[in-house]
Amino acid sequence: MKEAIIKELRKTSVWMGFFAGFFVLMYTGVVLLTSSQYIYFKGYLPETGKTVLRVIFYGLTAFSVYIFIWLRKKRYSKETLNAFSGSLDDLMRHLILTVAFSLSMAEAPLISGFFLFFLGAMYLDFFILTAVAVAFIIKSIPGRKFLSERLGDYGKKG
């Protein structure tokens, strides 16, 4: 039974990750299209200090990374998963929501980079934060081994 849970969760997680990756491509396409069509684009707040914008948006990114790590640690803890040992439906709902929350938090660096691009025309910062987002999208999809270790003896007790 545990293998069926892992298989279904992996399939669902990969599809959710695929769509999150699609959003990365969409944002990147908008940035590349804007940069190629408006070669003199300076951002919508060019007079604002770029250092201030970087501090704000990199700070938000750091906070979202912290929340991402905390969320995964808390929701995938053995204690939390053992609380769902009586109900397969509740366990699956919890696991799928964990992936959805993780993917949502993984998109935060991408959105921060997008704001940096539009407010200050900071292309490099956009691509750096996009790489962070892609890394966290990949990390959001739990692997078979990780799930197998986390679920432990689920299904053997009852």
Mean pLDDT of 71-79: 88
Name the percent of the chain lying above pLDDT 70.
94
How many whole angstroms separate alpha carbon 50 and alpha carbon 92?
44
Give the model's pLDDT for residue 154: 57
Q: Residue 99 and residue 14: Cα distance in Å, rounded?
A: 10
Number of domains in the chain: 1
The reply to whether 157 falls in a domain is: no
Report pLDDT digits (tens) over 57-74.
999 999 999 999 999 999
* End-to-end Cα distance, the chain: 11
| Residue 10: domain span | 2-151
Report the pLDDT value the prediction gives residue 108, as an integer from 0 to 100.
94
156 located within any domain: no
Q: Which of 120, 125, 139 is nearest to 59 (CA)?
A: 125
DSSP string, 92-157: HHHHHHHHHHHHHHHTHHHHHHHHHHHHH--HHHHHHHHHHHHHHHHHHS--HHHHHHHHTTTTT-
pLDDT of 79 higher than 50: yes
| Res 102: pLDDT | 92
**Of residues 67 and 146, which shows the higher confidence score?**
67
Q: What is the pTM of this model?
A: 0.84
Q: Is the pLDDT of residue 156 over 60?
A: no
Span 135-147, average pLDDT: 90
Q: Quick one: pLDDT band at residue 151, thresholds 50, 70, 90?
A: confident
Predicted local confidence at residue 158, as pLDDT: 43
How large is the average pLDDT for residues 104-116? Answer: 94
- Asked if the structure places residue 67 within a domain, the reply is yes
* pLDDT tens sequence across 13-23: 999 999 999 99
